[in-house]
Amino acid sequence: MLTLKNPRHERFAQLIAVAGLSACEAYTQAGYKSKSAESNGPRLARNEQIASRIEQLRAKKQAKTEAKLEISRDRIVKELADMALAKGSSMIKLKAIELLNKMQGYNEPESVEHSHIHLTVNSALINELRAGYAALTERNAKVLPLPGEPGVIDIAATDGSAPQEGER
């Protein structure tokens, strides 16, 4: 489909697709009465031919944008390469090379899969860890009272109601 036969319809489609206006705004700016824009704008946008034209114009706009971005990316890569190879400050060269590497994805971390790890631990370390764990559990047992002792609320025994007098 090239263009719509009705010039107002074509303008309406372009205002929505290219300018990004709402159907109501496009309806008014395309030359229709603003009183009926709220109801007729969305209705006109649902028209099969107009909706198709809007999609066509959006696709064309998207392709142009992508082409501009690619040209810009190519230009940036060329400029950075020129900076990296030019005579001058080594700091500028290093920064240009760093940016080129980032743009090319060379700075991404490598994914390394490990299926087996072999650890060697001596028995003295194991005994020291066991002694430390035992001391820690012994200390925690002295500090933390057991459920059911005075001053402790037994969470497992409560049914969601307020604590009883002896449990406060």
Task: State the Cα–Cα distance between residues 12 and 30, nearest whole angstrom.
Answer: 5
Task: State the Cα–Cα distance between residues 19 and 117, nearest whole angstrom.
Answer: 59
Among the listed residues 49, 52, 81, 62, the one whose alpha carbon sits nearest the alpha carbon of residue 18? 62
Instruction: Please compute the mean of the pLDDT values over residues 122-138 and round it to a whole number.
Output: 85
* Residue ranges of domains in the chain: 7-104
Instruction: Please compute the mean of the pLDDT values over residues 139-164 and round it to a whole number.
Output: 58
Residue 1, helix vs strand vs coil? coil
What ranges in 6-153 are assigned the alpha helix state H?
Answer: 7-17, 23-29, 37-46, 48-85, 90-104, 123-143
pLDDT of residue 90: 85
Please report where in the chains the tokens 């309806």 appear, as a residue.
Answer: 27
Q: Answer yes or no: is pLDDT of 149 > 70.
A: no
The DSSP code sequence of 106-119 is TTSPP----S----
The DSSP code sequence of 115-136 is S-------HHHHHHHHHHHHHH
Highest mean pLDDT among 44-53, 94-103, 122-131: 44-53
pLDDT of residue 168: 46
pLDDT one-digit tens code per residue, 113-123: 777 777 777 88
pLDDT one-digit tens code per residue, 75-84: 888 888 888 8
Q: Answer yes or no: is pLDDT of 143 > 70.
A: no
Contact of 100 with 85, CB cutoff 8 Å: no
Using a pLDDT cut of 70, give the percent of the chain over it.
Answer: 82
Mean pLDDT, all residues of the chain: 81
Residue 58 binned pLDDT confidence (cut-offs 50, 70, 90)? very high
